[in-house]
Structure 1
């Protein structure tokens, strides 16, 4: 009996040092340690890993998910929306981007001053917004074209020249001599003095492909 008592005492002492265990009276089980819950930020990150989209690695998680949700409501591809914003901001996604040609356009999709007023805001106010907040105005601007911008050319026409939505690829948007051509002359790929719908969308299409490459997609 002395040997059994000594063994029981040593066994109880050993259990008291095991991680995840607690001592208990003879005949009772020793419950395993309950794992600590994951931190909220880890849970949010895991639950929002989601699909990869063009240029998703270059923006915040919040921006990416809001762009996906907006694209879904507008019935357009989120990759296309991201490619357009990458083009209009020089790949920066900076809401304060200002047009270098002097048009006064500002922001993620280069809102013109008159366009901003039509959305009940100003380019100055847009410039001061965060990128995530400015996305609300991107959606508000694109809403009238919902369901008509499912391909990359028409999606970009909604931003550049809405009258060309639904037109064929060879449709001429701007001709040399006009102010619109002067502001967009970099889009005249063959230098013939005309900018077609296909030419205008070519650089956005190229940025779509670039945005799908490793390091940009995410």
Structure 2
């Protein structure tokens, strides 16, 4: 499993268990958590207050019956219970690493075609692109699923690509 040498044996085993229950590739789950938090359950984004292994937004944490402060206080193994709860509704549609990452980053886009623009009625494409400029690779003020997928490949060393893409 990718990055297994960067986590405790208990964490690696629980990632395998959670992945089996969700029917997803544990490499994909490890990839999302590495990108979002470097496996730090107390990681916090000062913009928006996202926290934890997959950067739970405050509203997402509340929807899971907790809050960001409580999540930050958990060890990584315990926080995986909330990671599993978060991904459960999306898991059956997450056939690729990009799908699993999109479930975390922008769930509406899971399974969409490459030309699909990340936006909602309340959240314009321009705002999403401005807050996540790394994914707006052509700098046109919007992020497509295709741009997101292409950018993901640049975030991982080539030797991990066979496990993720």
TM-score interval, smaller chain: 0.7 to 0.9
Higher relative contact order (CA 8 A, sep 6+): 1
Deviations 1:163-213 (A, max 9, x none): 1112112211146532x3322122111212221112223444444556739
2:21 pairs, out of 73, 77, 81, with: 73
Aligned-pair CA distance for 1:125: 0.3
Structure number with larger C-alpha Rg: 1
Would the alpha carbon gap of residues 204 and 135 (structure 1) be closer, same or farther in structure 2, given more than 3 Å must change?
Answer: farther
The separation in 2 between residues aligned to 1:106 and 1:205, in whole angstroms, is 24
**Match of residue 94 from structure 2:** 149
**Match of residue 104 from structure 1:** 49
Give the conservation status (yes or no) of the 8 Å contact 2:135–2:147: yes
Which range moves more in the overlay, 201-210 or 161-170? 201-210
When the two structures are superposed, what TM-score results if normalisation uses the length of structure 2? 0.86
Would the alpha carbon gap of residues 157 and 188 (structure 1) be closer, same or farther in structure 2, given more than 3 Å must change?
Answer: same
Give the conservation status (yes or no) of the 8 Å contact 2:130–2:141: no
Give the conservation status (yes or no) of the 8 Å contact 2:43–2:53: yes
**Match of residue 177 from structure 1:** 126
The aligned runs of 1:44-123 (5 Å cut-off) are 53-89=1-37, 92-100=38-46, 102-123=47-68
**Match of residue 126 from structure 1:** 71
C-alpha root-mean-square deviation of aligned residues, in Å?
1.9
Structure 2 segments unaligned to the other structure (5+ residues): none
Give the SS at the match of 1:158: helix
Aligned-pair CA distance for 1:59: 0.6
Would the alpha carbon gap of residues 63 and 150 (structure 1) be closer, same or farther in structure 2, given more than 3 Å must change?
Answer: same
Confirm whether residue 196 of structure 1 aligns to residue 141 of structure 2: no
The separation in 2 between residues aligned to 1:63 and 1:205, in whole angstroms, is 25
